Structure 1
Amino acid sequence: MPMQPWFPEAKLGIFVHWGIYAVKGVAESWSFFGGEISHDAYMDQLGGFTAERYDPDAWARLFAAAGAKYAVLTTKHHDGVALWDTRATDLSVVKSTPAARDLVGPFAEALRTQGLRVGLYFSHNDWNHPDYPTVRPSRLQRPWVDNRYAMPAEGDENPEAWERFLKTVHRGQIRELVENYRPDLLWFDGAWERDEQQWRMGELREEILALGPDTVLNGRMLGHGDYATPELGVPITPPEGPWELCYTIGDAWGHQPDDTRHKSVRE
């Protein structure tokens, strides 16, 4: 299936990296994964997430004025906290924070009002769900992922729990996003912690396109996406086919109070 023509012509998209990690201004998910703060301290941010300054209409007007043609919102990062009222888990800003409302629907509606395409980020990883760290890949692509939030110790695998996670949480939440919000683009992340055999990404692609035939899928699907997504540096050799450089305005992805080294206009 050919790439949807709007994407290679879009040129500029805006990436909104937002979640409970903005409350304390810590690194998204990685801060507890790497032990910079405790898991309890990280999750305490749920109680302070009010989204009181959430104004998707103003965001969309700004994006359009900047010349963007699409925007992407982090609907669920590796911490597993969903920005919509997911039925798959209780860990959402609707059920677990003072914000107590869906933050994805108004974002999508505001973008469409401005004529912008809707992109939704979704992490395959879920470092908070007990059924997620239950299988190990045949080999570790990145040694530092051998972390108990990501996978079990050798000999403690539970394939049944993994299949339950894959069906109920992973596939269930992606289906909710596609059916509820009809995104033009799904921006996946986190595929490195499992094998293709475990994720069954080819099967996932078919499921998504059956629900939304025009959906563009980024490349973090172990070979089953539409375009490459290098980060934080222009590749010396351009990837084959369409690609998108994902770049931060400062040094961090999400809000951090000390992140004040904003990139120049030229950058």
Structure 2
Amino acid sequence: MRDQIDLKKSVPHQQTGSREENLLDDPLQSLKEGTGAEHDEAHERRIAWWREARLGLFIHWGPYALPAGEWDGQEIQASYSEHIMLRARVPVQAYEEMSEQFNPTAFDAGRWVRTAKQAGLKYIIFTAKHHDGFAMYDSHISDYSIVRHTAFGRDPLKELEEACREEGMVLGIYYSHAMDWHDPDSQGNTWDYPGNIGAYDDVESWIKDEDKRTRFDHYLHRKSLPQVRELLTEYGKVGLMWFDCGGKLTREQGELFLTTVHALQQDCLVNSRVWKSPLGDYANTSDNQLETRTIRQDWENIITLNDSWGYKKSDTNWKPPVSIIRQIIDVVSKGGNLVINVGPTATGEWDPVSEEILLEVGEWLRVHGDSIYGSGASPTARPSWGRCTLKDQTLYLHIFDIPADGHLVVPGLLSQVERVYPLAGGAELAFKRLGNQDLVVLLDNEHLSSDGKPIVLAAKCSGPVKGNSERLLMNGKGAPQIYDLGVFESEISGSTLRYDTGKKNRDNLLDWTDEREYTVWNVRTTGPCTFAVRLEYGCGDEGGGSYLLKASGQTLSAEVQLTGGPYEFRGFELGKLHFPEAGEYSIELQADRITGAYLMQPRKLLLEQVNV
């Protein structure tokens, strides 16, 4: 299949299968992003509500909800149902005929918005036009819309805009500006229009092709930009415009969309996929990226409740509410926003499981929302038991795993603490200092969770919260502690070595082809301690070599072992590391020799305390 061939050329070490979608979600070229030029007064005014909101709802809805992942009686092998036209190579005429049958008579904008509010979500992003080119609003630029092409005849976006205004919800609009499989001059559809730019073609492949460049530019000015203008002039105040696949544009074309939005609504936010970072008011992660890093001061993570974005009837791989809650906490603890997607059915209803998950998340937020809304990253270290968020002078302790001894060590908290109390109510907790950098909160059975959801404690400080962000390795007695140091916590040095997408089973380093490159974890110890070290990585037949792990004047070395594939991860013992005294240290993973196409794909270091 042509798509798979292109994928192998583009991503030589990654598995193929259903991974083609990765090439359409504009992952950042590198997660080594700077803050960008985003501190001007206009930006600060636009972004203020968004930083307070922290949580949004994505709604992927269109005629693709009718086939719901199947075409001609067969399930199409693609994670995302909204890509069915591309993946099944559905002719324009056949897709038009299918779209005529789209008649979502059960659609109720008010119910959608009220449910989003119950779920604790503060803004909605609605797909006004996805890659299939079908407008989910009353477009005057194209008759290919739900109002003019179907018997439904209503404007869902207008009804959502009115419902959002009534309920005090911020409305955002998704618009696929670079990709339109219905249009003969756009990108992606090469089965109806063989001369088009391919779905996986990069800009360099067509920018010097006069025919492709001219026709694509014609599409942008004939349809894409005019539809953006009508969205920003016909639907009231728009909180944000969410563009997609902007990496398939030139920077100049991306900037044209950015300036168009701000000229029409100067307070409307624009995401980085208008082109790619550093453009836009905030950066996006990849789609369904579960392992994240702080990629810019303002950034947003987007996830689905199952695997697909649009409704797919065979997709029952639901994420449990506790996983969604943990993702919320993790993202906010790094200063980001989280947008959670729902894909309504062809009738205009939400899948009951989607609604149930969201409402359960909302119940947790009603009690613990103070630790999320308006909160952000903490200057303290990431604890082994969970995450910390910060708002004003309060540090919120989100406990995923209760320490066996009931002693909750808050690492790197330098400020004086006045009191510690549970957000769910109950008596204040006792606490004490552990040296001059750490705090110990004494837990009891009263504060244990019975449903597996994170417990949240508030640590009220007497002044601004100051901290040490180095990961803490304890030298405690008793049961050995195991510290999990993922590579997304490490800092890369080099130009080719990079973080993978962060999606499920993609939380590793990629493209380790230069022996001079390395990655480092910065840690702190409270006293002398020794750890047995294990490195978890994947390596296929094309990889190989040897590597070094250095810390505190010690060097551990090992040969790379084949694991069965670059994404077949296994752990390998390296030996022991000893830290002689309390202090800060660097643990550096280096290449020694690279004998294959790449060294390996490391995923994490596991340090198990050895009592000596």
In 2: Cα distance, 1:41 partner to 1:84 partner: 21
CA contact (8 A) 1:56 1:107 kept: yes
In 1: Cα distance, 2:219 partner to 2:108 partner: 33
CA contact (8 A) 1:218 1:227 kept: yes
Residue in structure 1 matched with residue 165 of structure 2 by the alignment: 112
Task: Name which of 209, 220, 233 aligns with 1:166.
Answer: 220
CA contact (8 A) 2:134 2:146 kept: yes
| Structure 2, unaligned runs of 5 or more | 1-41, 70-79, 189-197, 324-612
Residue in structure 2 matched with residue 265 of structure 1 by the alignment: 321
In 2: Cα distance, 1:91 partner to 1:25 partner: 20
Q: Does 1:177 align with 2:231?
A: yes
Amino acid at match of 1:52: T
CA contact (8 A) 2:58 2:126 kept: yes
CA contact (8 A) 1:61 1:114 kept: yes
CA contact (8 A) 2:307 2:317 kept: yes
Q: Does 1:224 align with 2:267?
A: no
Deviation (angstroms), 1:253 = 0.4
In 1: Cα distance, 2:200 partner to 2:223 partner: 21
Deviation (angstroms), 1:146 = 3.6
CA distance 1:8–1:155, shift in 2 (3 Å): closer
**Which deviates more, 161-170 or 205-214?**
161-170
CA distance 1:236–1:121, shift in 2 (3 Å): closer
Matches for 1:142-153 after TM superposition, within 5 Å:
145-146=200-201
Q: Give me the CA root mean square deviation.
A: 2.4
CA contact (8 A) 1:120 1:183 kept: yes
Deviation (angstroms), 1:29 = 4.4
In 2: Cα distance, 1:216 partner to 1:156 partner: 33
Amino acid at match of 1:119: G
Q: Does 1:129 align with 2:183?
A: yes
In 2: Cα distance, 1:158 partner to 1:2 partner: 35
Residue in structure 1 matched with residue 257 of structure 2 by the alignment: 204
Q: What whole-Å deviation, never above 9, does each CA across 1:194-244 have from its counterpart, x for those lacking one?
A: 3224x2x22322221121011011110223211122121234422111111
Task: Name which of 118, 133, 136 aligns with 1:65.
Answer: 118
Q: Which has the higher contact order (CA 8 A, sep 6+)?
A: 1
Q: Does 1:253 align with 2:296?
A: no
Deviation (angstroms), 1:128 = 0.8
CA distance 1:52–1:159, shift in 2 (3 Å): same
Q: Does 1:2 align with 2:43?
A: yes
Deviation (angstroms), 1:42 = 3.4
What SS does the aligned partner of 1:266 have?
A: helix
Deviation (angstroms), 1:191 = 1.3
In 1: Cα distance, 2:186 partner to 2:273 partner: 18
Residue in structure 2 matched with residue 14 of structure 1 by the alignment: 57
What SS does the aligned partner of 1:245 have?
A: strand
Task: Name which of 189, 196, 217 aligns with 2:244.
Answer: 189
**Which deviates more, 170-179 or 226-235?**
226-235
CA contact (8 A) 2:81 2:310 kept: yes
What SS does the aligned partner of 1:229 have?
A: strand
Amino acid at match of 1:264: P
CA contact (8 A) 1:119 1:183 kept: yes
Q: Does 1:23 align with 2:66?
A: yes
What SS does the aligned partner of 1:244 have?
A: strand
**Which deviates more, 158-167 or 3-12?**
158-167
Amino acid at match of 2:67: K
CA contact (8 A) 2:242 2:274 kept: no
Deviation (angstroms), 1:28 = 4.3
CA contact (8 A) 2:92 2:182 kept: no
Deviation (angstroms), 1:41 = 4.1
In 2: Cα distance, 1:159 partner to 1:236 partner: 35
CA distance 1:156–1:80, shift in 2 (3 Å): same
CA contact (8 A) 2:82 2:310 kept: no
Q: What whole-Å deviation, never above 9, does each CA across 1:31-90 have from its counterpart, x for those lacking one?
A: 221236555443332122012111000011111111111011100000110011212222
CA contact (8 A) 1:28 1:77 kept: no
Amino acid at match of 1:263: K
**Which deviates more, 219-228 or 109-118?**
219-228
Q: Does 1:242 align with 2:321?
A: no
CA contact (8 A) 2:60 2:309 kept: yes
Task: Name which of 40, 62, 78 aligns with 2:131.
Answer: 78
Q: TM-score, normalised to structure 1's length?
A: 0.86
CA contact (8 A) 1:71 1:117 kept: yes
Residue in structure 2 matched with residue 138 of structure 1 by the alignment: none
Q: What is the identity percentage for the equivalent residue pairs of Structure 1 and Structure 2?
A: 30
In 2: Cα distance, 1:243 partner to 1:160 partner: 34
| Structure 1, unaligned runs of 5 or more | 135-142
Between the two proteins, the alignment pairs up a number of residues equal to 254
Amino acid at match of 1:248: T
In 2: Cα distance, 1:63 partner to 1:23 partner: 23
CA distance 1:144–1:118, shift in 2 (3 Å): closer
Amino acid at match of 2:173: L
In 2: Cα distance, 1:176 partner to 1:28 partner: 27
Q: What whole-Å deviation, never above 9, does each CA across 1:5-39 have from its counterpart, x for those lacking one?
A: 01011121111110000011124442221236555
Amino acid at match of 2:280: G
CA distance 1:45–1:156, shift in 2 (3 Å): farther
